[in-house]
A and B are shown apart, each in its own frame.
Chain A
Amino acid sequence: SSELTQDPAVSVALGQTVRITCQGDSLRIYYASWYQQKPGQAPVLVIYGKNNRPSGIPDRFSGSNSGNTASLTITGAQAEDEADYYCHSRDSSGNRVGVFGSGTKVTV
C-alpha cells in the first residue's frame, strides 16, 4: 500500500502531551518525516529519520517508530503548536516515490 493514514484531528490542553500517529506498510521499511503547517504558510520540517530535529525546532517535539506506525509527540504543547501536521515517507514500490499522510489538525 502507498497510503499513510493519520487521525484527522486531536486536541490537547496547554502544557500537556499529545501524540500523533501515522500508519502505513512502507513505514516497516522507511522512516517517516514530520511537517508542521500553519495557515497560509509553507510546511516546516520538525522531525526526520529515527528521531532527529532540525536546527531551531524545540526539543518538545520527538518522534518514534514501531512496526507500521510512526509517531510524533509534543511534550508540553504550546499555543504556537496549533497547526496541521503531516507525515511523509517513501512508498513501498521501490521506485523512489514519496507519499504524505492525510494530515492531523492539532488544537491547543
Chain B
Amino acid sequence: EVQLVQSGAEVKKPGESLKISCKGSGYSFSKSWIAWVRQMPGKGLEWMGIIYPGDSDTRYSPSFQGQVTISADKSISTAYLQWSSLKASDTAVYYCAREAGHSDSDAFDLWGQGTLVAASS
C-alpha cells in the first residue's frame, strides 16, 4: 500500500527540542518531493518547506526559514521535521505530503495522518 505514516503525538515544554518523522512506503521514496504543512488549532494550512530525499535538496518558506529543520534519510524512506527549541506557538498538527510529480502542478497526492505537537509549560 502506498502511504505516508507519521510519528505519534508529542507533548513537550517550551524550549525543548523535538524531531518528528514521516515514513513512506509502497513507492520510490527518494524520487518524490516531500513537504511539511502546519495547521494551527482552528486555522488553515501553511506550507513550511519541502525536501527531495534523493539528494536532500531542501527549500523553506520565508516564514519558517531558521525556525525548523527539514531532513530525510532515503535509506529508511523517512523525512523529518525538527525544532531545536520549541515555542508555545508551535502547537499545531503537522502533516507531511508527497508531491505527485505532475508536469503542470506541484499537487500533493498523498498525505500523512498528521502529528499533533503540543508545547506547553
Contacts and interface: CB of A to CB of B under 8 A. Distances in A.
Contacts of B113: 42
Contacts of B105: 30-31, 33, 48-49, 52
Interface residues of B, number: 25
Given A96-B50, A98-B50, A100-B47, A45 B95 contact: no
Given A48-B102, A100-B37, A88 B111 contact: no
Given A43-B95, A88-B106, A95-B59, A103 B111 contact: no
Interface string B55-66: 000011110000
B50 A54 contact: no
A61 interface: no
B117 interface: no
Contact of B46 (A43, A45, A100): A100
Contacts of A108: none
Given A42-B95, A42-B114, A45-B109, A98 B35 contact: yes
A102 to B, nearest CB: 6
B100 interface: yes
B32 to A, nearest CB: 14
A95 B47 CA distance: 14
Contacts of B106: 30, 33, 88-90, 98
